[in-house]
Amino acid sequence: MRSLVLMLACLSALVGCSPGPVAPVGPRLARAEVAPSANPTADASAPTTPDAAVPSVATAETLELPAGEFFAGSSPDLVGRDPRREAALQRTTLGAFDIDRRPFPGEASARLGLGVAQAARLCDERGRRLCSELEWEAACKLGGTNFETSGPEWTASEGGPAFGETETRIVRGGGETAELRCSSRRALQQDASPRGVGFRCCGGDTNSTPYPEPERAPAFHPLQVEDTRLREILATLPELARYASDFQLFRAADAERALSRCQGTPADLHGWELVDGVVEWAPGWGLPDWVFAGHSGDDAMVVVLHRTAEGFVHGASYVYGKEPASIALTFTTPSRDVMQFSASVGCAGEGGVLAAEPDGRVLAYHRRVGW
C-alpha cells in the first residue's frame, strides 16, 4: 500500500469586522510586521528591525522617525494577507518625519466619525498634516509599544488601482484579527464619515513615496533552475529540509514516464502542459510561487515555494512516501488558480491538485484528476 504524506500550509481564515462607535484608546498595540531576518523562514512578526532602519525616538506625544528604509507590504505566507492590495515585502525609503503616538486628539478617547477632509483640516490647525499610509505603516512596524492604535484611521493616501477607479482614501489599522496588522490596507469613499474611523497627524516634510502597488505576473512561466539551487533552498525550510541533501528534479522525460504508466500520452492531457523542471506560478497578485516535482531517496513529491523579499518559505507540498515513481505536474493557462499532478496519469487514486485560495494560500490535496 502506497504511503502518502500530505503537508499543507495551514492558515486561519480572514475575519472581517466593521468599525464600531467611539471607543477609548487603551494600551492595545498593533502587532508589528518587520523586515525578515537573515533566515527567510523566520516568523514575519518576529520583533526584529531591518538593518537599514534607524531606531525611532519617542517623546510624550510623538514618535520621531529619521530618514531611512523599512519593509513595506507583507510576506506571502502571512495569515489574512490580501495579495490584491498588499505588496510583497519591499524595501521602501522615507524621509524623516514625526507622528502622533496616539490617534487625534492624543487623549483618552479618540475623535471618531469625521471625514478625511475634516481630519486633514484639524491637523492643519495644529500646524501638522494628515499622515500618508506609508508613514503610518513605518511607524506601526518600527515604533513598537510607542505606537498605540485601537481602530481604523484615515490617511492622506489615495486608494489607487488596487481599489478600483472610484475616489477613495486609504484607511489603516483597526479590526480584531488581520486588519490590526501594520500592513493591512482598505479604502473608504473620501466623502464618507464612518463613525468608527479616527486619524492621527504627522509633522515634517510630506513623504510623497507611493505605495508599491501589487503586480500581477503571467500565470505560468518556465524557469531554468539547477538541482543544486533547489537543494540549497530546501535545506533552509524546516518542513522540507530532510529531503534537501539528495533532491533531484523531475524533468520532461520523467513526466512522460508517469503518462505511460497507465498507457497515457500527451494527447490525453487535453491542452494541459507538462512542467519540465520548475514553473513560476502566479495564481493571483503578489510574487509568483515556484512549483516543481522531484524525488529524494525513496520519496517523490510536489512542492510549492512562496517567494518573499528575502528568499522563500514553504507554501504547500505533497509527498509520496516510500515511492520514488516519477510525477507528471501539469498546468493550463485558462485555469490560472489550479495545477494538477499524478504519478500514473489515467489511473484512479494516483494524483492530486494544487489549488490557490483568494487570500494567497495554496492547498495541496489528493483526488482523482482529469485532463
Classify 96 as helix, strand or coil: coil
Mean predicted confidence (pLDDT) in 325-349: 85
CA distance 281 to 289: 5
Per residue in 55-64, pLDDT (tens digit) is 566 667 999 9
Residue count (the chain): 371
**Is residue 301 scored above 80 in pLDDT?**
yes
Between residues 328 and 30, which one has the greater pLDDT?
A: 328
Between residues 5 and 71, which one has the greater pLDDT?
A: 71
Least confident of 35-39, 72-76, 83-87, 277-281: 35-39
Least confident of 72-81, 155-164, 228-237: 72-81
What φ, ψ does residue 29 adopt, rounded to 5°?
-120, 145
**Is residue 49 scored above 70 in pLDDT?**
no
Q: What is the mean pLDDT of the chain?
A: 81
Per residue in 231-246, pLDDT (tens digit) is 999 999 999 999 999 9
**Is residue 78 scored above 90 in pLDDT?**
no
Confidence (pLDDT) at 368? 62
Between residues 94 and 106, which one has the greater pLDDT?
A: 94
Mean predicted confidence (pLDDT) in 258-263: 82
**Is residue 346 scored above 70 in pLDDT?**
no
Confidence (pLDDT) at 61? 92
Q: How far apart, in Å, are the Cα atoms of 192 and each of 18, 20, 167, 183? A: 14, 15, 11, 22
Between residues 159 and 42, which one has the greater pLDDT?
A: 159
CA distance 353 to 291: 12
DSSP 8-state symbol, 257: H
Confidence (pLDDT) at 369? 56
Helix (H) or strand (E) holding 367: none
Confidence (pLDDT) at 370? 57
Q: Among all chains, which residue has been given the C-alpha cell 487625534?
A: 104
CA distance 329 to 327: 6
Confidence (pLDDT) at 17? 33
Q: Output 162-171 pairs: Cβ under 8 A, ≥24 positions apart.
A: 162/84, 162/85, 162/213, 162/214, 163/85, 163/187, 167/191, 169/116, 170/133, 170/211, 171/197
CA distance 170 to 181: 14
Exposure string of 217-227, with b = 16+ CB inside 10 Å and e = fewer, is eebbeeeebee
Mean predicted confidence (pLDDT) in 274-283: 94
Q: Among all chains, which residue has been given the C-alpha cell 484607511?
A: 171
Q: Where are the domains of the chain?
A: 57-203, 217-366
Q: Could you tell me the three cell numbers for 73?
A: 507590504
Quick check: 169 and 158 in contact, CB under 8 A?
A: yes
Q: Could you tell me the three cell numbers for 304?
A: 510549492
Quick check: 157 and 133 in contact, CB under 8 A?
A: yes
Helix (H) or strand (E) holding 228: helix 227-235
Quick check: 243 and 299 in contact, CB under 8 A?
A: yes
Confidence (pLDDT) at 323? 76
Mean predicted confidence (pLDDT) in 103-118: 93
pLDDT band at 87 (very low <50, low <70, confident <90, very high): confident
**Is residue 144 scored above 90 in pLDDT?**
no
**Is residue 355 scored above 60 in pLDDT?**
yes
Confidence (pLDDT) at 262? 78
CATH superfamily of 57-203: paralog of FGE (formylglycine-generating enzyme) (3.90.1580.10)
**Is residue 367 scored above 50 in pLDDT?**
yes
Least confident of 26-30, 46-50, 206-210: 26-30
Mean predicted confidence (pLDDT) in 196-218: 90
Least confident of 26-35, 47-56, 217-226: 26-35
pLDDT band at 21 (very low <50, low <70, confident <90, very high): very low
Q: How far apart, in Å, are the Cα atoms of 202 and each of 119, 264, 356? A: 12, 65, 39
Between residues 260 and 304, which one has the greater pLDDT?
A: 304
273: exposed, middle or buried (Cβ count in 10 Å: 0-12, 13-18, 19+): middle
Q: What is the DSSP code string of 15-79? A: ------S--B--S-BPPPP----SSTTS-TTSS---TTPPPPEE-SSEEEE-SEEEEESB-TT-T
Confidence (pLDDT) at 278? 98
Which of the residue ranges 21-35, 230-244, 275-289 has the most confident prediction, judged by mean pLDDT? 230-244
Q: Among all chains, which residue has been given the C-alpha cell 525611532?
A: 56
